[in-house]
Amino acid sequence: MKKKALLLALALAGSTSAHAQTASPPEPAREDTNDAIKPVNAVAGEVDKLKIIESLQAIKKDPTTVKFHSAMCYDMAMPPAYTTFSCPTCGTETQYHTQSYQGEVANRIAYLSRSLGQIKAKTTVDFSDFCSKCSKDSDDQPELKLTASCIDCGKSFSWTANTIKELEQLPLLFTDFPVTEVDQGHIGEQKIEPEKLSEYLSNRLLCPACREKHGLK
């Protein structure tokens, strides 16, 4: 009996040893795919930022590198005397003369809200000055107030558009970089002089400190 027990113990030990030799080694830890993607996105952002800044510097140095053109002008039907501003915050409706600055804002509110995402600097707009309920400056000239995040340092800064001409210039912010051509709208409505294009774009894409750092002030 003792001999059989000894033989059985030896057989079990051999089986355990063989299993240990054939067992698969543990798999190495997998790299976090998010960590691998982050540097790529960061580099892409840096490349886009540099492309914009270099384009602005080139325009400032020589505005003639940009082609300015205009579309044909067609006679338009007489618009109604009044238009309605519908506040996107509270829904209050306020009436304005169609051909006034306030009326121009009222007619462009949907277009502006839809187009803000095309601006290279993250930008938000405050329409409260034009709402009879939300406005806190009822005695002052209303302003279209915009807040942007600098494409270089990310710092927030504000700017305004408080004339009809400035409203007409807003599509300039939707241009692609590097800037090679600019649509000036209808013939006879020159919206910006070539030598002022770099300044206009820089003031709405970069904070004051970064404009100075890149020679765009």
The whole-number pLDDT of residue 21 equals 45
Token digits of residue 28: 């190495």
The whole-number pLDDT of residue 82 equals 96
Q: What is the pLDDT of residues 12-37, one digit of tens each?
A: 445 444 444 444 445 554 444 444 33
The whole-number pLDDT of residue 207 equals 97
The whole-number pLDDT of residue 141 equals 84
Listed in order, strand segments (DSSP E) in the chain are: 67-71, 82-86, 93-97, 123-126, 144-149, 156-161, 181-186
Q: Tell the burial category of 127 from Cβ atoms under 10 Å away from its Cβ (0-12, 13-18, 19+).
A: buried
Instruction: Read off the pLDDT of each residue in 173-190 and give the average, rounded to a whole number.
Output: 81
Q: What is the pLDDT of residues 147-173, one digit of tens each?
A: 999 999 999 999 999 999 999 899 999
Q: Are 159 and 146 in contact (CB under 8 A)?
A: yes
Q: What is the pLDDT of residues 73-98, one digit of tens each?
A: 555 677 899 999 999 999 999 999 99
Q: How far apart are CA 199 and CA 59, in angstroms?
A: 9
Comparing 74-78, 113-117, 210-214, the range with the smallest average pLDDT is 74-78
Between 184 and 77, residue with greater pLDDT = 184
Measured over the CA atoms of residue 170, residue 119, residue 116 and residue 143, the dihedral's sign is: negative
Token digits of residue 45: 């952002």
Q: What are phi and psi of 18, to 5 degrees?
A: -65, -35
The whole-number pLDDT of residue 72 equals 60
DSSP type of residue 51: H
